[in-house]
């Protein structure tokens, strides 16, 4: 490939990584918002979890149409349009919060989610097309890891801008009371989101991004013939449903004295940040492990760098607590070690991580105190590579003209983030929040099935698709991710 083309692809990766950061931040911000929204609008669990439903239901409505939009207007124009929708939605929260209308608030979240659907439908296949197929999963893991930096920061953003300061008795250092969240406390973050995304939309419109061809004979009827793609779409349903359910529940779960040790509300939300930070760390490991970097010394240095970053993230997120940061580092080391058992193959790593996530969730259900806390929070590390690996396995062997359409179909099933948390909330209201974690356990069980069985490509789906889904980067002509 000519050097100019390589430079253009690198520019494309830089800006598409920024887009991943933006929609990752917005998505996690909304997921984490249910707890303060429950307090601000005086809601129960089921009503509060409607925040997630309002956000993720758009995937069921708009993902397939958005695939057609991307195919018609191209990746770049779709990204600009998605950012403009973000900006409009962000500013709609001003009247919604001013009226203290929860229905209006949910409507603004729905519009915000339309922008996310369009961005995600364009961004995921765009990354897979920005280089060789052998390293597509590695590139997705890299951009998803940058996405996860945003997911780590979003809960800290909530603590800084929404959660009122706790009133502390200086004599004994104990929290005496916690000020209530008011609807007006929710406004500033959305104004910032609206303003920033409008600026980024203008910037993206003015730059030169690679214009990748989507020519071919592919259409929705041809795309639906791929069994492994359809099963992978439901795998995305289960993955997003499980991840969002856990991320939504953590702060309410671990503040209870008999479960997570009765920690403060602000520290509980910081643990939510650590949950999403785990996904960031795991995806960085995934980008390294599933690349075609051959130099052992280089790869080892990168792994050590990620471990140092994991320790810093842990100690910074948890108020410079050395002990808790060390625990997080230990789980990060275990995450990398288990990833190596997958030998760089997307389906094997997916199967291992699904089993570990199930074990951690069940352990948390059956225990209390700090063991229950850490086993639920560190599931984030093992959620890490699930989305990029499921997505890569699902589009394996598809014609280039079918990829954006398949992305629309797959993204439709992200609606799991709307349905599964409400199911979990209903189970929590009927029994308790601890028992409700059986819902994500069932989701991880399906992901295990997809990794071992459902991701296999049938011979009738084309010879090109029969090669095993691997992310080891067997092409010696390409270096890096």
For residue 144, what pLDDT is reported? Answer: 67
Query: What is the number of structural domains in the chain?
Result: 1
**C-alpha–C-alpha distance, residues 30 and 348, integer Å:** 32
Q: What is the CATH number of the domain that holds 341?
A: 1.20.1250.20
Of 348, 347, 316, nearest in space to 329 by CA: 316
Cβ atoms of 75 and 126 within 8 Å: the answer is yes
* Block mean pLDDT (10 aa), the chain, length 481: 54 78 85 79 80 84 84 85 94 90 91 90 75 64 71 75 58 50 84 92 81 57 82 94 89 72 74 86 84 82 94 89 92 94 84 96 90 92 90 83 79 86 89 90 96 79 44 28 27
Is residue 440 helix, strand or coil?
helix
Q: Output the DSSP codes for 350-381.
A: HHHHHHHHHHHHHHHHH--HHHHHHHHHTHHH
On whether residue 213 sits in a domain, the answer given is: no
Q: Tokens for 257?
A: 């004295």
Report the pLDDT value the prediction gives residue 477, as an integer from 0 to 100. Answer: 25
Helix axes 3-32, 136-161, angle to 10 degrees: 40
Would residue 475 count as lying in a domain?
no
Helix (H) or strand (E) holding 303: helix 296-317
Structural domain range at position 434? 3-207+221-466
Residue-level pLDDT at 473: 29
Helical segments of 130-226, H only? 136-161, 187-206, 220-223
* Phi and psi torsions of 178, nearest 5°: -125, 120
For the whole model, what pTM was predicted? Answer: 0.73
pLDDT recorded at residue 174: 47
Q: How far apart (Å, rounded) are the C-alpha atoms in residues 350 and 319? A: 32
How high is the pLDDT of residue 436? 92
Q: Which phi and psi angles does 176 have, rounded to 5°?
A: -90, -35
Residue 214's pLDDT is what? 57
Nearest CA to 72 out of 214, 216, 208 is that of: 214
Q: Are strands 174-178 and 166-169 parallel, antiparallel or unpaired?
A: antiparallel
pLDDT for res 169 = 42
E strand or H helix at 168, and its extent?
A: strand 166-169
Is 233 within a domain?
A: yes
Burial class (CB in 10 A: 0-12, 13-18, 19+), 472: middle
Q: State the helix-helix crossing angle for 227-254 and 416-430, rounded to 10 degrees.
A: 40
- Residue 474 covered by a domain: no
Is the residue at 472 inside a domain? no
Structure-token match 């996860």, residue found: 148
In a domain, 164, yes or no: yes
Other C-beta atoms closer than 10 Å to the C-beta of 319 total 11
pLDDT at res. 168? 40
CA pair distance 178, 170, nearest whole angstrom = 15
- Is residue 267 a part of any domain in this protein? yes
Q: Is residue 455 assigned to a domain? A: yes
**DSSP element (H, E) containing 177:** strand 174-178
Six-digit token pair at 4?
Answer: 């100019």
> Residue 167's beta-bridge partner residues?
177
The residues near 73 (Cβ < 8 Å, ≥ 6 apart) are 81
């Amino acid at each position: 490939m000519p050097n100019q083309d390589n430079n253009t692809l690198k520019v494309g990766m830089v800006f598409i990584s920024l887009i991943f950061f933006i929609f990752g931040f917005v998505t996690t911000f909304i997921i984490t918002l249910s707890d303060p929204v429950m307090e601000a609008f005086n809601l129960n669990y089921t009503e509060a979890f409607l925040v997630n439903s309002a956000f993720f239901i758009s995937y069921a409505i708009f993902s397939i149409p958005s695939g057609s939009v991307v195919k018609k207007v191209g990746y770049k124009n779709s990204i600009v349009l998605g950012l403009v929708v973000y900006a409009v939605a962000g500013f709609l929260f001003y009247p919604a919060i001013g009226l203290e209308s929860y229905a209006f608030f949910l409507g603004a979240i729905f519009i915000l989610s339309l922008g996310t659907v369009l961005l995600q439908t364009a961004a995921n296949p765009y990354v897979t097309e920005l280089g060789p197929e052998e390293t597509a999963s590695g590139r997705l893991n890299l951009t998803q890891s940058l996405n996860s930096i945003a997911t780590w920061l979003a809960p800290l953003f909530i603590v800084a801008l929404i959660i009122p300061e706790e009133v502390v008795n200086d004599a004994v250092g104990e929290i005496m009371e916690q000020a209530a969240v008011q609807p007006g406390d929710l406004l500033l973050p959305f104004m910032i989101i609206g303003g920033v995304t409008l600026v980024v939309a203008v910037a993206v419109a003015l730059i030169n991004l690679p214009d990748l061809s989507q020519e071919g004979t592919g259409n929705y009827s041809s795309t639906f013939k791929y069994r492994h793609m359809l099963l992978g779409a439901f795998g995305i349903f289960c993955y997003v449903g499980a991840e969002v359910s856990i991320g939504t529940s953590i702060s309410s779960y671990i503040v209870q004295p008999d479960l997570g040790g009765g920690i403060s509300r602000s520290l509980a939300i910081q643990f939510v940040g650590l949950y999403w930070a785990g996904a960031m760390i795991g995806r960085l490991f995934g980008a390294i492990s599933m690349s075609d970097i051959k130099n052992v010394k280089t790869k080892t240095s990168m792994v050590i760098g990620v471990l140092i970053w994991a320790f810093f993230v842990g100690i910074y997120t948890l108020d410079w607590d050395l002990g808790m940061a060390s625990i997080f580092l230990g789980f990060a080391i275990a995450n990398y070690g288990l990833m190596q058992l997958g030998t760089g193959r997307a389906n094997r790593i997916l199967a291992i991580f699904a089993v570990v996530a199930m074990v951690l969730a069940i352990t948390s259900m059956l225990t209390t105190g700090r063991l229950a806390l850490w086993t639920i929070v560190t599931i984030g590390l093992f959620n890490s590579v699930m989305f990029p690996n499921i997505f890569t396995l699902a589009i394996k062997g598809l014609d280039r003209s079918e990829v954006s359409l398949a992305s629309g179909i797959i993204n439709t099933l992200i609606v799991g983030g709307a349905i599964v948390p409400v199911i979990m909330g209903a189970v929590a209201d009927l029994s308790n929040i601890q028992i409700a974690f059986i819902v994500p356990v069932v989701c991880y069980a399906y992901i295990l099935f997809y990794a071992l069985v459902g991701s296999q490509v049938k011979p009738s789906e084309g010879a090109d698709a029969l090669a095993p889904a691997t992310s080891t980067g067997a092409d010696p002509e390409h270096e890096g991710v």
